[in-house]
Every structure is written in C-alpha cells, then in structure tokens.
Structure 1
Amino acid sequence: MRDLKGIVEVELLVEEGGALTPTREYVQRDTTYVEGRSGQRYALRVRNLTGGRVEVVPSVDGLDVQSGKDASFDLRGLVIRPRDSFDFTGFRISDSEVATFRFGSIEQSYAAKIGKPRNVGVIGVAVFEELAPPPPPPPPPFSPPPFGGPPPGALGAPPAPQAFGPPAPAPAARPPTLSPSAPPPAPGFVPAPAAPKGLGTTFGERRESRITSTQFERATPKPAAVLVIRYEQREGLRALGIDVDGLSQRETASPFPAETGFAKPPPGWKG
C-alpha cells in the first residue's frame, strides 16, 4: 500500500518456507487487512519513493517499535535514504539487535505482557519529510578596485567594521534519528505452537539488525503521511466479511447465464 502523496510504500512480509514474502492485502471499508498465523514470523518493509530522505516511525500493537513506549508522533524513528527501503523485523533492543516480530495469541503478545493490550492487532507507519536547507546567499556584487589602489580585502586594507553585542545563541541540539546499516541474513527459527483465536505480536527471539545515528530535521511537526494495516487470523477475517477464500466468484455465479436453447452436446459425445 502507498500513501496518497506517493511518499512511501509499505508491505507486510510473512515467512513462508523460510523466506519472507509479501502477503495479500484485503481492503474493506477503506481499511487494509492482512492474514497472519500463530507462530509465523513477519516484517514490515517501508520503501522511500522520493528523491529525499524520510523519517519513518513504525508502531505495532500501539507500541513504538524503537523504544517499546506508547507510540507517538513525538518519538524519533529511522531515516530511509532516497529510493531505498528498510525491513523492520522486530522490537529494537540495541543498535544491533531486535526481538523478532511473530504472530501469537493476544495473551502472548508483547503489549499484553507489559499491561497494554488495548491496541493489539494494528500496525502503523508515520512518515516525516525532511526540512529543506535554506538556499545559499547570493555572492556580493563585483566592484573593480580604484586605479592604482589595492583590491578590497588585500593585505594592508583597513579592517571591516565589526558589530559588538552578545554572542548569537548556539542552535538547539536535535535528538539523533536512526539510519539503517545493511542487515546480515536472518537465522533460522522454530515455529511456535498454535494459539487461541485472536492475534497479537510477540517479543520473539533475538535477530541481528544494525542501525547508526544521524541528524534529521522534520519539515513539519505532524507527519506527512500515516498508513495503517490491521492483522487477524483467517477466521477473524471471515467474521469481518472479508473474502479470504475466493468465494465471491462462486457467490455471484448465475444459474441462467445465457437462457438460450437446449443443451449443446460436448465434443465427442455420441449419445
């Protein structure tokens, strides 16, 4: 899915046969849903579609992916370079490791275990564009030196007058944002046992995912785009009226598609 401005593209990747692949999205009443299975590993891929850097603040089950705190636009995220992408593979526990995202029961979810199960089942991505630097000042107009005199600024020329006053305040330090480094291949995993109905995201096994710090100044205090994905088991999607089994074609099949004449024998029929 993409935001309306075409700033980023977001995909949910689920593990099938040991590899992460994009899962199918179901759109109903302007809401995007995906299917998950208990014990299944997943990742959130965010691709920057623009020619500038963007800062991405992802949340899972109402929790900030980087800090584990209640998700907020005020928290800092990860900077993605122009036309680049990054896979968020878990809750961050250090600059080099995450706790893997895995679907599990609501009771097993990280949010429930820290006493915050209210927003289980939803993934969000807030996107901030970067403030453009001011244009450089125009060069001073050229003025030729007087005949026989030294050029302006040459050795021996009188110093330019200086204004005195209190020193200008130093610019406020901005909190660092994070920038991804290339992650190594993910290790193997052992599937978790089946869980009760209803899905959350568990605080899974350690997985390597390296990032570094960088500086990023947001163009606006509010995000330029917010994308939302809701996830549920197949039974839950069915209960919402979502056609996860491809039944819509069968439900719309007509018993009288042509209403023309008698039955035509099939090829080779001899009666």
Structure 2
Amino acid sequence: MRQALIAAFAALLAAGTAAVHAGTLVDLAVVNRATGERIPVHAHRGRLYVAGAPGTKYSLLLNNKSGERVLTVVSVDGVNVITGDTAAPAQSGYVLGPWGSVGIEGWRKSMSEVAAFVFTPLPDSYAARTGRPGNVGVIGVAVFREYQPRPPEFYPLEQPAPFSGPGARSEAREGAARGAAPASPPADALSRIAPKPEEKLGTGHGEREASEARWTNFRRDSAYPAEMISVYYDSRANLIARGVIPSAPRAEPNPFPGFRFTPDPRG
C-alpha cells in the first residue's frame, strides 16, 4: 500500500465554464490565476490544447466525478509535480475524495509549500533547467481507482473435459496468456509534440506559496491507470501558426478606400 497526498483546496472558481476533459472519472481544467477563469480549450487532430502567455501563473483543477476515492498522478512537462522525478504512472499523486476537487498550484516543495506554476519560455522552464527539455508543453494526469475487497466466489466442481491431451492444455494456456496480456498504453501517452523552429512555452519554477497537504494511504485497484488525460499547451502565436487556433480573417483590400458620398458641411 503506497502513500499519497491530499491537498487542501481553497480556490473558488467561476462556474459554467467547460472542463478540459470530460472524462469518465476526473475532469481537468487549466486555470488562469490572475483572472480565476479556466483557459479555453482547443481540440485539434485528436488532442486538446490551451494557450498560455509568459509570466502568467496557472493552476490545475481536478474534479472527481465518481463516488469513490481516486488517485491522480500529475505531471507537467514530463515531471512529477510532487516528487520532481521524471514522471511515471506508478509514482506518488494526489487523492481526491468522492465527488471531491483539488487545486494544484505548483511544484510541491514540502507539506506546506509549493513553487508556483508559471508559463515561461522553454529555456527557463523547470524541466529544461533540470536537464529534461524533451517533454515540455504537456500536462498529464493518470487516474487510478481504489482497491475494493471482493466477496469470495464459489464455483461448482469441475467436470472432466471432453479431451484433455497435451495439445488442448497447451492451447488453453496460450489463450489464457493472450487474454491476460496487459493492454498497450494509449497512443496519446506515447506521442510527442513535433519540434518547431520557434521557441515553445514551458512551465517555470515560480515563487514559493503556502499550500497545505497531508499523507494518506491508497491502494490501487490496478497497476494500469483507469484513465489517462493529456493536455498540450503553447503560446497563442505558436498555436495559431500550427493551425490549432484559427487565425483572424484578413479583410480584403479595397481599391478605392476613400469612396463615399458627399458629406454634409460642418457647423
């Protein structure tokens, strides 16, 4: 049984805005802390994107949509937001109570402090400054259900099989092995943003802020996440250049811009 964190959630956010991901278990929203509003989400080629601006602080809002506790392992730029390790689903995360919410405002520094998430040019990002710039520009959440003891199951006595030769046993074992093989992780979990010639946006290690948390025990129902959420981000200009955000329509040039009827005299 591993330990996980429960963070105190104190932010009150505007209602009625769309969540980043309407998942089965958890919703994720990226919140502009200066305005308290959720950053609009743009869907493009099967991925979700949000636009940030250098110097803007942001937080992650997670909402548990189920009536059971869940564990959320959260990464920013490929880095675990609690431990600072290169992110993997088996690591520590935040526990959400039934129908509960948590606001994650930065990199966990202690049980009482975080270093604020702030959009910054890629070279100034926490991941780049710790030698890991390869996954800058993505926020990830791996969601785990909690283990629930199952009642004992009773089976009738086995009847002799019509044929129990070695070939049948071998085939049965092979079939069972195929059925028990672990599923491949979602394609989104393995994909990466293609490099761009212009500078990307990353997440910096901002000033320290008060943020209370405590340890709790959580036993995962499975070694594999029940849900994986990925949200990519970059500057608005870069997202427009990549076609993620439509650019503003350009007005057609007018060959006679001064054409008009005679105006009334002044006075």
TM class, shorter-length? 0.5 to 0.7
Task: Please list every run of 5 or more consecutive structure 1 residues that lacks an aligned counterpart in the other structure.
Answer: 138-195, 252-271
Matching residue within 123, 126, 142 for 2:142: 126
Give, as a single letter, the amino acid of the residue that structure 2 aligns with 1:13: V
Match for 1:223 among 222, 225, 233?
A: 225
Question: Structure 1 counterpart of 2:133, which letter?
Answer: P
1:2 aligns with 2:21: yes
Following superposition, the deviation at residue 57 of structure 1 comes to 0.4
Checking the alignment, whether the CA contact within 8 Å between 1:34 and 1:232 is kept in structure 2 is yes
| Amino acid corresponding to residue 243 of structure 2 in structure 1 | G
Is 1:234–1:244's contact at 8 Å kept on the other side of the alignment? no
Which of 189, 193, 212 in structure 2 is aligned with 1:210?
Answer: 212
Deviations 1:170-224 (A, max 9, x none): xxxxxxxxxxxxxxxxxxxxxxxxxx94211000001111111111110110100
Aligned partners of 2:68, 2:115: CA distance in 1, in Å? 30
Give the distance between the partners of 1:229 and 1:96, measured in 2 at CA: 27
Unaligned ranges ≥5, structure 2: 1-19, 154-197, 252-267
TM-score, length basis structure 1: 0.66
Q: Distance in 1 between matches of 2:46 and 2:122?
A: 25
Structure 2 counterpart of 1:57, which letter?
V
Q: Does 1:72 align with 2:95?
A: no
Once residues 8 and 60 of structure 1 are traced to their aligned partners in structure 2, the CA distance between those partners, rounded to angstroms, is 17
Correspondence for 1:37: 53
Distance in 2 between residues matched to 1:21 and 1:27, nearest whole Å:
19
Instruction: Give, in angstroms, the shift of residue 2 of structure 1.
Output: 3.0
Contact 1:3 1:225 in 2 (8 A): no
Amino acid of the structure 1 residue aligned with 2:210: E
Q: Deviations over 1:93-135 (max 9, x none)?
A: 0011100000001110001111110100111000000011344
- Identity, % of aligned pairs? 38
- Which structure has greater helix proportion? 2
> Does structure 1 conserve the Cα–Cα contact (< 8 Å) formed by 2:83 and 2:92?
no
Per the normalisation by structure 2, the TM-score is 0.67
State the distance in 2 between where 1:70 and 1:133 align.
Answer: 32
Contact 1:3–1:226, Cα closer than 8 Å, also in 2: no
Matches within 5 A, 1:1-271: 1-2=20-21, 4=23, 6-15=24-33, 18-135=34-151, 197-245=199-247, 247=249
SS of residue matched to 1:107: helix
Output the CA distance in 2 between the equivalents of 1:234 and 1:2: 20
SS at the partner of 1:215? strand
